[in-house]
Structure 1
Amino acid sequence: MGSSEFSWKLADHPKLPKGKTVAVVVLDGWGEANPDKYNCIHVAETPAMDSLKKGAPDRWRLVRAHGTAVGLPTEDDMGNSEVGHNALGAGRIYAQGAKLVDLALASGKIYEGEGFKYIKECFDQGTLHLIGLLSDGGVHSRLDQLQLLLKGASENGAKRIRVHVLTDGRDVLDGSSVGFVETLENDLLKLREKGVDAQIASGGGRMYVTMDRYENDWGVVKRGWDAQVLGEAPHKFQSAVEAVKKLREVPKANDQYLAPFVIVDESGKAVGPIVDGDAVVTFNFRADRMVMLAKALEYEDFDKFDRVRFPKIQYAGMLQYDGELKLPSHYLVSPPEIERTSGEYLVHNGIRTFACSETVKFGHVTFFWNGNRSGYFDPSMEEYVEIPSDAGITFNVKPKMKAVEIAEKARDAILSRKFDQVRVNLPNGDMVGHTGDIEATVVACKAADDAVKIKFFK
């Protein structure tokens, strides 16, 4: 819709008087759940938030930050900071995550994008490797999306394809891996009948191979790297179905913790290690358990484990997994095209805005809030302040982070009377919560509450 076809004019708010500054405070990672000793918000002293809730119970609302409320396909889909701030800033719901992938695959748009063109450059001489969770659970990946991608890639010139499977048993029933591998093998057989050299190259259980998160255990990623890139694993099989069945017979084995394996030919040589000139796609749409592998595949300067070999590949994610790190730099499905965000409406209506957070969430109250758009809409109407995050430490070491500094900047902006909207993000609950350190997260929750107090009660 062109700008001439609609009005930027906003109607006056029925209750908020003109001239009042509106503060939008995102307490990242903050939520409500049953009280217990692991509920850090409940355990922490949070007098400011408690008083806001008790002071206006009729106006206290819970806002959903996952599932269909932020454009994800089902209520089982976990939200994240990026989609949450997209939705908050846009004031509308846009397709995100798996839904975005479904639309791109259904329309064929995925094969016209820059990401696919980038990996396609390798199709003549190299192999296309697909790495991800083999599951129909719909949390991290979906089998039907992989099937469509295999079909589409082969129709668009991929002559040699290797799939590196990660078995699930967490989002789906344990033991279902055998059926998934059989289905995939059947699809690959049909591709081979059409002249495409397509087969499974390696595998392993998701919690033991590749899919670690939050840099908890790089050994998990290394086991995957050894099998997928180096073609080395403690178990070698000529058939993936046989591999999964046999490895499940090991005492206490299950799909989640299946040992890594590689598929070899009759001479015992791995059929699909990743080498120079190959293309690699990680086909999970959910980010949290793909970021670590993305770093290993993309970063020249990498010291988390000895990669032994760092192949010169063209790598793309199904989506971009980390908008802040711009990781990976290439991806098959672009973020949604979000237009006419609240920030743009505000400048068109002469409403002055101030946005502030520390580095780890600064992009969320600016870039993501503004619909994945860098910079100002109108520098004369907006001021963005970034407070540098503590570099080189995990956030549980300094759980108070920069909450006080953010709060003071916001308070000063409010008192300056220069701004009509002041928006900030207090990252403590999210960033410290991700570390899994209970004591530190309790400190973090109190720090966020203290920051709210500085903004409104002092």
Structure 2
Amino acid sequence: DWEMVRRGWEAHVLGKGRAFPSAREAVLAYRAEKPTVIDQDLREFVVVKDGKPVGTIEDGDSVIFFNFRGDRALELTAAFEQDDFDKFDRVRRPKVQYAGMMEYDGDLHVPSQYLVEPPSIDRTLGEYLAASGVRQLAISETQKFGHVTYFFNGNRTGKFDESLEDYVEIPSDRLPFEQRPWMKCAEITDRLLEEIPSGKYGFIRVNFPNGDMVGHTGVFPAVVCSLEAMDLQIGRLRAAVEKAEGILILTADHGNSDDMYEHDKKTGQVSRKPDGTPKAKTSHSLNPVPCVIYDPGYKGEYETELESGLGISSLAATCALLLGLEPPEGYDPPVLRMKD
């Protein structure tokens, strides 16, 4: 979200933004004005003293970006490091010693300085499918686009094979998620319903952000609205997969909207605020994640009861098997038990 990066740059570097005498007073003021606002939706602000911003980034400063995730870090890193940066007018670019917590892009070696050597992630499913000649489509809205591209490919920004991979990003709304809880699930599905009948792709990966992003708001009615919208779109998607004689795998890497209230650790009962209302939970849940394989053309090739106790990494071998490929050595076992 370059607009958010621009606002951050203007606050940190240019000292532009709503003025407060301290960070504490800024947060208290924003929360008083809108009690339901979550951290990531707090507007930028500047701490001032005697009418002047305190701590703007200046020539000679050191900037250490304490973020281990690369999808968002790459954007601010570009603003500090790129000579030909064109995403917004920086006005001025301070000469600083800039370093990231990690090297966020191992191919482009960004940033040029970093604190911790990044893990090497190779032999990803996307790389294996590209090498096997399988054409792929990756699609999501902005909020999770990096998850079906950068993260899915092992912290790699580019494609493994330009001729075999297409990436589609549906721009996310620039509003708090509880105000548009349906997000872009309909637009994502619309595009999928255009692409699936074409038969161009052997493998399509899609991330619907609704359950996670709206779950983080802690606003229960918004979550209900969000998942009702998702239910409708999954129904449309299932019908398209069935018509195309494909297979649909539905899962997640963690829960969130499935557990919207805090619980007492001793009793397991819902925790309540002094006024008696349930205390909202805005973090991920630790519940087991379902995995559903919808195969309308099933002919008895594998056991219908999936292996239990496995993680999301086992879906790489699972997808390979369903595509008629042999999972590479070293992949975690699939959730399917193939019949002899």
- What is the TM-score normalised by the length of structure 2? 0.44
| Larger RCO (CA within 8 A; separation ≥ 6) | 1
- What is the TM-score normalised by the length of structure 1? 0.34
Larger CA Rg, structure 1 vs 2: 1
